[in-house]
Every structure is written in structure tokens, then in C-alpha cells.
Amino acid sequence: MTEWLCLLLPVAAASGWWAARHARSGCAAQGTVPDAAFLRGLNYLLDQRPDKAIDVFLRLAEVDGETVEIHLALGSLFRRRGEVERAIRIHQNLVARPGLDREQRGFALYELAQDYMRAGLFDRAESLLQELTEIEPEGRRALKALIEIYQQEKDWTNALNAAERLQGLTGRPMAAEIAQYRCELAEEALRAGDPEQAGECLREAQAAHPQCVRALMLQARIELGHGDAAAALALCRRVAEQGPQFIPDVLPKFIDALGRCPGTDLEAELRRLYASHPSPALATALADAIEAAAGPAAARDFLVSHLAEHADLTALERLLELQSADEGGCPETVQRVVSRLRARQSAYQCDQCGFVARRLHWQCPSCKHWGTIKATQPGSMDPSLDSPPTPPGA
């Protein structure tokens, strides 16, 4: 059924062009030679011989100046069917034709750039799209496509420039994306051993998008590197306020900073966070803090109370470790089974498309949204409170 539909789409496109052309000419008697050629091309499409059909339609283009629409329709349909080489051939032929007006040429160049992107020929696509950024109305679409390419190539400087141009053209806020590109540049600077440059990028990220928790987390990392634990602690607290879903990701820096700040109370801080945003990472960190302050029995009591409400394998694994230390504790086999089950759990999930991951990605590899992948939360021990799992790709 699907194959038939795919076959009929180009046929429908060609037929639509033929009908429109005859409506314009006003009679069926004109142009009998192109009509015969057109029917031959149509037959090739129906016989599933698309290359023969393309040959006919391209020859038709040489004697008939009204075939821009059919070229665009067929090229687009071939690309959607995954037949990119055929789409490229059609669109290349079209842009090489003299006599196209500015709008038609812009549209055809954009379609050809899409073909190149689909074929993975990013250099060629980028070159065409850069040309198109100067041509309205294709400029906006070209900038969006360029951003897609630069993101794929991790060329954050060009992605940033294109996003700022697009924001200026459309007025659509792109502050969240711009801040993420600046964070990517900050990470590059950190990898190159230049924390000052990284700090500058993060200040610009914060200026562009004050809600960007990633910039706060990176700045906390820099402050810890400089030995300024108080500044790092203040930044971690801001992450917890602005993006509580990211508390599990900032927790190691939070605990590090608290440990270096005199007069702070690690257990009290973790209890405060846990009360409002319980998570597997917080539960185990709090259990560790309780064990250090009051001994393993108190840590076990806390974990039991946590597990009474949360189906949390990470906390269960920690509880079994504490119990195994006692005589007659949990059998090792049970611990190993729980560890295996926990290791197979997906730790992160995209709240836009349901993509699951083992680590935090700031840009979802599936839907390409920024900041939508977050640590997964364990289900409730009350089945009536559980939300159904989000299917991948939903």
C-alpha cells in the first residue's frame, strides 16, 4: 500500500502540472509533441522506471518553459522517498536553467541545498544556503537550515552567528539556543585550558538567557577550580532554585563546595533539597551524609522510609550494601541482581520526544531540542500515582 502511494505521488505531481498547463493554454490541441513526451514520462513513472521518466521530463524542460513547478514537485518527492541522487539531478538541472526569476531560483537553490543535506554533503549545502541568506523570502529558511548544519558539525561560533541573525530577522526569541551555543564555546575553552575565556562565554550566556542552568553549573566548576567554594556553593544553590530537575547533575559539585565551606551543614542542606525534590541521587547522597553523622542504622532507616514511597533501585542497592555489612545481611546474589537491574535502567529521558539516555545530553540527539533531557524519576510505590511511560518518539 505504501509503495503504491509513493509511486502515485510523483504521478499526481506530474498530472497536476499537466492539468494546470492545459488550463493556461486553453485547449488540448496545442503542443502535441510535448504532450506525447509528457505521457511517455508518465508511463515510465507508472512502470517504476523513474530515471527514464526524469530523462523525458528534463528534455521536456528544454522545449517548454513552464516546467518549473513539476521539477520542484518531482524533486521534492524523490527526496522524501530517499531517492536523493534523483532529486539532486532534477534540482541541479533546474538551477542551471536561464530565465528563472529571482523567487524561482531561490526556491530551487533551497531545495537543492536540502538534497545535499539529506545526502550528507554539508559543505555544498552550506555554500548554497549562505548564498540564500541574502535572498528573501528564502533567507529565514536558509538560516534555519544552516543552524542545523552547524549544530551537526559542532561549529558553535557559526551556529551562534546564524541564530543571532535569524532572531534579528524574525523577532522570534532564540535566547535559550544562543545561551547553549555560548556554553558549548565555554566548554571548548575549558578543554583548551582557558578558564578566563570560558568565564567570558558564560557571562554572555547568562546575559542572553538568565534562566540557563548549564551556564551556572559550568561557572560553579570554574569557581571550584579557582578554589572559591563559597562562589561555587552560591551558584549550585541557584541551579537548585532555577532548574530543580538538574539537582542530580549538580550534586557532586554541591557536596564538594559544601565540604569546603566552613559553617555549612551538609545533611541539613541535602534534607532541604530532598524535601522539595526527592530523587535517587539525592536519596543516596543524603543516606551517605546520615551514615557519616549518625551511623549506618540511621541511614538504613532513612532509606527504608524513602523506599516506602519511591520504587528506587539506586536507593535499594545502597540499602542492601548497608545491610550486607551486618552479620546475616542480604545475600550477595540479591545485591548483584539489583545492581544489574539498576544498571539497565535509563537514567535520563527527553521530555519532548521520550528519547532515553544513560547520561545527560544538553541537546537531545533525537529531536534536537536543547535542555529537554533530564534525570528520570523513580515511580511511586502507589501504582495509582504512576504516570504511563512515554513511548520513544512520542
The one segment of 71-79, 110-118, 285-293, 342-350 that binds Zn ion by CB under 5 A: 342-350
The one segment of 41-49, 90-98, 285-293, 361-369 that binds Zn ion by CB under 5 A: 361-369
- Give the nearer residue to Zn ion in terms of CB position, either 5 or 394: 394
Tell me the site size for Zn ion, rule CB under 5 A: 7
Min dist. Cβ of residue 340 to Zn ion (A):
27
- How far out from the chain centre does Cα 72 lie? 29
Spatial CB neighbours of 102, under 8 Å, sequence gap ≥ 6? 135
The one segment of 42-50, 135-143, 237-245, 362-370 that binds Zn ion by CB under 5 A: 362-370
The rounded distance, in Å, linking the Cα atoms of 227 and 220 is: 10
For residue 286, the one-letter residue type is L
Tell me what percent of the chain is helix, strand and coil, each rounded to the nearest 5: 70, 5, 25
The rounded distance, in Å, linking the Cα atoms of 107 and 115 is: 13
- Give the nearer residue to Zn ion in terms of CB position, either 160 or 364: 364
Cis peptide before 137 (omega within 30 of 0): yes
The one segment of 45-53, 63-71, 180-188, 349-357 that binds Zn ion by CB under 5 A: 349-357
Q: For residue 363, with 0-12 CB atoms within 10 Å meaning exposed, 13-18 middle and 19 or more buried, which class applies?
A: middle
Of the residues 181, 350, 370, 378, which one makes contact with Zn ion according to CB under 5 A: 350
**Which grid cell is 24?**
493556461
- Give the nearer residue to Zn ion in terms of CB position, either 328 or 391: 391
Instruction: Assess 151 for contact with Zn ion (CB under 5 A).
Output: no
Min dist. Cβ of residue 371 to Zn ion (A):
10
The rounded distance, in Å, linking the Cα atoms of 59 and 40 is: 12
Of the residues 107, 116, 348, 355, which one makes contact with Zn ion according to CB under 5 A: 355
- Give the nearer residue to Zn ion in terms of CB position, either 130 or 377: 377
Length in residues, the chain: 394
- Give the nearer residue to Zn ion in terms of CB position, either 231 or 367: 367
- Give the nearer residue to Zn ion in terms of CB position, either 26 or 391: 391
The one segment of 52-60, 74-82, 244-252, 356-364 that binds Zn ion by CB under 5 A: 356-364
Min dist. Cβ of residue 369 to Zn ion (A):
5
Q: For residue 19, with 0-12 CB atoms within 10 Å meaning exposed, 13-18 middle and 19 or more buried, which class applies?
A: exposed
Instruction: Assess 390 for contact with Zn ion (CB under 5 A).
Output: no
Phi, psi of 30 (to 5 degrees): -75, 150
Instruction: Assess 231 for contact with Zn ion (CB under 5 A).
Output: no
Secondary structure (H, E, C), 122-176: HHHHHHHHHHHCCCCCHHHHHHHHHHHHHHHHCCHHHHHHHHHHHHHHHCCCCHH
Of the residues 167, 245, 323, 352, which one makes contact with Zn ion according to CB under 5 A: 352
Q: For residue 158, with 0-12 CB atoms within 10 Å meaning exposed, 13-18 middle and 19 or more buried, which class applies?
A: middle
- Give the nearer residue to Zn ion in terms of CB position, either 193 or 393: 393
DSSP state, residue 378? P
Min dist. Cβ of residue 110 to Zn ion (A):
26
- Give the nearer residue to Zn ion in terms of CB position, either 133 or 366: 366
Min dist. Cβ of residue 352 to Zn ion (A):
4
Stretch (H or E) spanning 117: helix 102-118
**Which grid cell is 373?**
533531557
Instruction: Assess 353 for contact with Zn ion (CB under 5 A).
Output: yes
Count of alpha carbons within 13 Å of 231, Cβ hemisphere only?
A: 12
Instruction: Assess 364 for contact with Zn ion (CB under 5 A).
Output: yes
- Give the nearer residue to Zn ion in terms of CB position, either 206 or 352: 352
Question: Which residues in 119-138 contact Zn ion (CB under 5 A)?
Answer: none
Of the residues 111, 366, 370, 371, which one makes contact with Zn ion according to CB under 5 A: 366
The rounded distance, in Å, linking the Cα atoms of 213 and 191 is: 20
Contacts to Zn ion by CB under 5 A: 350, 352-353, 355, 364, 366-367
